[in-house]
Structure 1
Amino acid sequence: MDNTLYVEVHILQSVPPSNINRDDSGTPKQAVYGGARRARVSSQAWKRATRIHFASNVPETDRATRTKRISALLAEQLVQSTAKDGTGLTAEQANRLAGTLLEPLGITKSAKKEDQSAYLLFFGKQQLDSLVTLLKGRATELAALSDKDLKEEVSKLPVVTALSTGHPAEVALFGRMVADLKDLNVDAAVQVAHALSTHAVRTEFDYFTAVDDENLEDTGASMIGTVEFNSSTLYRYAVLGVHQLMDNLSSAESTRDTTVRFVDSFARSMPTGYQNSFAHRTLPHLVLITVRTDQPVNLVSAFEQPVTGYNGLATESATRLANELTAVATAWGTRPQRTLATYAVEGHNLTEAFGPSVTFPAVLETLGDLVGHWLTNGTLANDTSQRTNA
């Protein structure tokens, strides 16, 4: 039986002139790799884009939220729930009750804003509903108690359990860290690398002007400015530990579905920085899924020597990636158990390394079957139609 299962996503994607992830000075983020300056998109930026895309296909009630306003949201829920049963809580009563309910979580308040926590908390909307359910219709009764008696009654409720179980898929995927209460921590099932260009880049400047439509006297611009940008072919990498996701979700069906939907969202998502100015949304040239049972392997070393791209960057980048997959498998003996790929680019040895290109929906369907079989049987299906070597 394989105790671990890793689903890796390797993507090559070209973006036109853009500034999809900038630093504090407005410059597109960069990194030096292999002695050359590369375009970079931070893992946080692409994780958020992936999470937003993922959530767009989830019913509102099953979604998660990351916010400092958990107390205010809980108070709103209390007001709404008591209004339905006719007992009714005032906003002041609801705020007091919500604050007391959250005390067992050890969530400290912001020093600047009384109605906010000191840090962002990632939780499911159903988990918030479960806190209201704990009161069993006693909200108005509890709100009438003194501070001492209210704290004593709340201490009897499994408040911590309500937020440490029943995680939505987003929390199960990306995890949660709460320094003040370790029982609320959730180990992330997903790791996402910073996207790097496969080649060296230089930052360029877009000089722009704006004209006042109602000014018919002056011919000059009413506003001028500059925006920094670059263009690049990016290597993107993420790995999902199916075993960890199963541990977080406690449901084989949800784990299989979440795995497939994560891969879909990671491939299709795009950070939105300066999107209106550059319309930079593209789809990948290549999506490669490698399934392993030993350890994840980021293949960014394929591009340690920058691609030069005399006839474009995508083809050479794809060839480099294919060669690296084969070289790593040969040198280390760490061959993926399966490879699945869709690519709309030609290159040397692509079919030999990745297997034949199939449609992306077909890749997702086959991935779902593989993960489902592993969850049910503890091993990958013995399907000779899939690639078993790199």
Structure 2
Amino acid sequence: MSTFLQFHLLTSYGPSNPNRDDQGRPKQAMVGGSPRLRMSSQSVKRALRESTFFALDLKDAMGTRTKRLCEKLAAHLIAQGTEEAVARDAAAQVAAIFGKLDAPRKGEELRLATTLAFISPEEWQLAEELACKIVAGDDLPMGKDLKKLVLRRADGAVDIAMFGRMLADDADFNRDAAVQVAHAITTHPAQAEEDWYSAVDDLNKAEETGAGHLGETAFGSGVYYQYVCVNCDLLIANLAGDRDLAARGTEALARAIAQTAPRGKQNSFAHHPRAHFMLAETGPQAPRDLSGAFFEPVRKPPFLDNSVAALTRTRTDIDAAYGRAWQAECVLHVGVRGTLDEIVRFAGDAVRGA
């Protein structure tokens, strides 16, 4: 039986464009027949990984997502005095463990072809050691036995344990994500707007009137609902049984999701929101999100308060019909009750007690 930790957040964003589509506009979605602004789960997860709560507090327990393993291994060997050609050949053999290598263009380094490899600190160290063994001419196994010298099914990389990874060439070393992150959507109808702007040439004082540059950018604003679900037992297993590291990672997650946003166009809009409402639940019951609270969109102000009311009402109704999907809860409601520190302690205790 697994223990689940669920987070439900309502966060207001002023005019901003934190997560753009292919045309540079805020991502959108149709929900319940109404247009909404959206932030993708991928953008939210990257923001979490890059937050200070992960990047600093868990610095030695973070993986690296990259296609550049081959060139970094080669540079490591060359720095140790290995001839360049030998170093590049050894690095290519090791990098191929993580996926197929792309044929480089002239002047470019060998890189993984299709997907970014998600590499834990332990795997990176083992990859360097294996490259050194190849250079030294050691006898090494072939095929899967060679991969086992580097790849791990569980280790101390918090972000890989949380968000999972897929190795297309060897599913045996995939990691199932212990943390599920939903796309965030506005609780009310919302659409992107256009901002036409101009810039003045500082050296144009008299010759011409008007702007030296014209441009446009898109933005949106709204109250977003965000859902995150943590499988505490899977997180511990993905971290090779290190319960304390799993708890510290979950505490960092709780702090980050309340205070971190994707950083698209941040210099232009200075969006640094904090969650207005945050509900944490834990228990062995099957998890459920509460996005259904907003399929009928909130249409009347105050949007934050009415969003909290809709979320709370839907939670009560679902629990009445299906039984409570939690055994314990903790609430942060700005101006009403609770603190982020209480949420963080609750999250850590949920993992330590799993």
TM-score where L is the length of structure 2: 0.91
8 Å contact 1:14–1:232 — kept in the other structure? Answer: yes
Indicate conservation of the 8 Å contact 1:101/1:154, yes or no: no
**Deviation of 1:101 (Å):** 2.6
Contact 1:37–1:201 (CA under 8 A) maintained in structure 2: yes
Q: Give the equivalent residue in structure 2 for 1:202.
A: 191
Q: Match of 1:188, as an amino acid?
A: A
Could you give the per-residue CA deviations for residues 71-99 of structure 1, whole angstroms, max 9, x where no partner exists?
A: 1122223334xx3xxxx212322111111
What 5-or-longer segments of structure 2 have no aligned partner?
none
In the alignment, which of 91, 103, 106 is matched to residue 84 of structure 2? 91
Contact 1:309 1:316 in 2 (8 A): yes
* Alignment-derived partner of residue 181 in structure 1: 170
Q: 1:366: which partner in 2?
A: 346
* 2:243 and 2:351 in contact (8 A); partners too: no
Check the 8 A contact 1:286/1:345 in 2, yes or no.
no
Contact 1:123–1:167 (8 Å) recurs in 2: no
Question: Could you say what secondary structure the match of 1:166 adopts?
Answer: coil
Q: Secondary structure at the match of 2:101?
A: coil
Query: Who is 2:202 aligned against?
Result: 213
1:116 aligned to which of 98, 101, 111 = 111
Contact 1:160 1:184 in 2 (8 A): no
Name the counterpart of 1:380: none
- Which 10-residue stretch deviates more, 55-64 or 23-32? 55-64
Other-structure match for 2:265: 274
Superposed, 1:324-363 pairs within 5 Å as: 324-344=314-334, 357-363=337-343
State the Cα distance separating 1:106 from its structure 2 match: 6.1
Determine whether 1:153 maps to 2:140: yes
Q: CA offset at residue 183 of structure 1?
A: 2.0
Q: For residues 5 and 365 of structure 1, what CA distance do their matches in structure 2 show?
A: 16
Is the 1:74–1:128 Cα contact (8 Å) retained in structure 2?
no
Distance in 2 between residues matched to 1:106 and 1:360, nearest whole Å: 39
State the 1:168 CA deviation. 0.7
Out of 298, 303, 312, the position equivalent to 1:313 is: 303
Aligned: 1:301 with 2:292: yes
C-alpha distance in 2 between matches for 1:78 and 1:337: 53
Report 1:1-390 matches (<5 A). 3-53=1-51, 54-58=53-57, 60-80=59-79, 83=80, 88-103=81-96, 105=97, 107-111=99-103, 113=105, 115-118=110-113, 119-134=115-130, 138=133, 140-142=135-137, 153=140, 155=142, 158-164=146-152, 165-217=154-206, 218-250=208-240, 251-310=242-301, 312-344=302-334, 357-374=337-354
Query: Aligned with 1:331: secondary structure?
Result: helix
Q: Which amino acid aligns with 1:329?
A: D
Partner of 1:379: none
Whole-Å separation in 2 of the counterparts to 1:161 and 1:252: 25
- Relative to structure 1, the CA distance from residue 139 to residue 89 in structure 2 (aligned partners, 3 Å threshold; closer, same or farther) is farther
For the residues of structure 1 that align with 2:225 and 2:258, how far apart are their CA atoms?
12
The answer on whether the counterparts of 1:61 and 1:126 sit within 8 Å (CA) in structure 2 is: no
Over 3 Å counting, the alpha-carbon distance change for 1:21 and 1:336 in structure 2 is same
Deviation at residue 364 of structure 1 after TM alignment:
1.0
**C-alpha contact 2:259 2:272 (8 A) present in aligned 1:** no
CA offsets 1:241-267 (integer angstroms, 9 cap, x no match): 111111100211112221221222222
Q: Distance in 1 between matches of 2:230 and 2:346?
A: 16
Local SS of the residue matching 1:25: coil
Paired letter, 1:316:
N
Structure of higher RCO (CA pairs closer than 8 Å, 6+ residues apart): 2
Q: For 2:67 and 2:92, how far apart are their aligned partners in 1?
A: 13
Q: 1:329 to 1:242 in 2, by over 3 A?
A: same
- Secondary structure at the aligned position of 1:225 is classed as strand
**Aligned equivalent of 1:384:** none
Structure 1 residue 197, shift from structure 2 partner: 0.4
Higher-Rg member (1/2): 1
Tell me if the contact between 1:342 and 1:358 (Cα under 8 Å) persists in the aligned partners.
yes
State the identity %: 32
Any conservation in 2 of the 1:62–1:126 contact (CA below 8 Å)?
Answer: no
> Structure 1, residues 50-80: CA drift from partner, whole Å, max 9, x if none?
1111432246543211111111122223334
What whole-Å deviation, never above 9, does each CA across 1:257-316 have from its counterpart, x for those lacking one?
A: 212212222222110111111111110101110113121110011111110123x21000
Q: Secondary structure of the equivalent of 1:277?
A: helix
Aligned-pair CA distance for 1:326 = 0.8
Amino acid at match of 2:112: S
User: How far apart are the structure 2 equivalents of 1:8 and 1:120?
Assistant: 28
CA distance in structure 2 between the aligned counterparts of 1:126 and 1:214, rounded to whole angstroms:
55
Q: Aligned partners of 1:278 and 1:55: how far apart in 2?
A: 24
Unaligned runs of at least 5 residues, structure 1? 143-149, 347-356, 375-390
**In 2, distance between residues paired with 1:63 and 1:320?**
37
